[in-house]
A = this chain, B = another copy of it.
């Protein structure tokens, strides 16, 4: 390792070297145009020589807030969230913000701690990415202190950018019904968040229009065991059993893909005996081995709109009541769905 330099050069070090005041150096650094060209040149040379980098902490202390946004996500192991987090980071970086990141894994304690950390570090704003958790608690901590936006999620007390989840659910139901399925099921997490609920509502609604009443299964892949109305059930019952669903809508691709795996294990053929639809359209859904019919979310748009909303709040361009921005969804029909057996 190259030996650790002493302490980094400061603005006054540069000023001393050039024989000019700190203010002048500051003006050069910030690109103010009041500095005479020759002076500017000499300052720049000194900056180069001393390898000076402005101390963002000092600057941020003065402004009262950091040029940083916090991104709080649920679980980076879900590829959809990982992809979104990556896009988010890129977008805020493009606009000159640093990204402070935290994954909570749905643990309220970590969530709490993460928000505290970001608050202390005076981030300019907070992005909640597909966040489960106890919304009221988050609201209590963040509410009003800081601009916040929910992306791919929704909360009444803050701006949200999300897709029309309800319509997504409807589309799926209609697709399955159109294929002749009469025994439908919805597969969601044990603790569904608002988005999950919306998807379910749309699904139930459209299914209801065709006189169907889907079964609702709760499951946290890959390790949890499934339950209906809080009562544990066996996969065999659901897939081959007395509740033989032939069309299942999983609340997200992550779960859908694990469901396919369960079906494979039990020898239930997808899509011949069982049709499965996901939600998100993660990268891997396109693989021929997975080939998942799913509802596609416009990732880029969600991220762009989310960051736009957040920055609008940060610089005060947007004020007033929280807004919900909806992006549209589309069904990507692939090979995991087929006419009912």
Contact = CB atoms under 8 A, between A and B. Distances in A.
A76 B83 contact: yes
A74 to B, nearest CB: 10
A29 to B, nearest CB: 11
A321 B1 CA distance: 6
Interface stretch (A36-44, A117-125, A188-196): A117-125
A58 interface: yes
Contact of A110 (B55, B93, B102): B93
Contacts of A265: 288
Interface stretch (A2-10, A12-20, A166-174, A211-219): A2-10
Contact of A2 (B157, B287, B290): B157
A144 B1 contact: yes
28 contacts: A1-B144, A1-B159, A2-B139, A2-B143, A5-B144, A5-B145, A53-B116, A53-B119, A55-B120, A56-B120, A56-B121, A56-B122, A57-B60, A57-B122, A68-B121, A77-B82, A77-B83, A79-B79, A79-B82, A89-B102, A93-B110, A93-B113, A93-B117, A99-B102, A101-B101, A260-B289, A265-B288, A289-B289
Given A283-B77, A289-B290, A89 B61 contact: no
A306 B122 CA distance: 28
Q: Oligomeric state, in number of copies?
A: 2
A158 interface: yes
Q: Nearest 9 CB-CB pairs, A to B?
A: A2-B144, A76-B86, A101-B101, A82-B82, A2-B143, A56-B120, A264-B288, A289-B289, A57-B61
A102 B93 contact: yes
A103 interface: yes
Nearest to A7: B64
**SS class of chain A's interface: helix, strand, loop or mixed?**
mixed
Given A7-B64, A77-B82, A98 B98 contact: no
A114 interface: yes
A60 B264 CA distance: 54
A158 B1 CA distance: 6
A134 to B, nearest CB: 16
A8 B66 CA distance: 14
Contacts of A320: 1
Interface size class on chain A is 35 or more
Nearest to A287: B261
Contacts of A86: 75-77, 103
Interface in A96-145: 98-103, 105, 110, 113-114, 116-122, 139, 143-145
A340 B114 CA distance: 52
Nearest to A3: B144
Most interface-central of A56, A57, A122, A283 (chain B CB within 10 A): A57
A291 B77 CA distance: 18
Given A1-B144, A260-B289, A85 B76 contact: yes
A210 B268 CA distance: 43
B114 A93 contact: yes
A324 interface: no
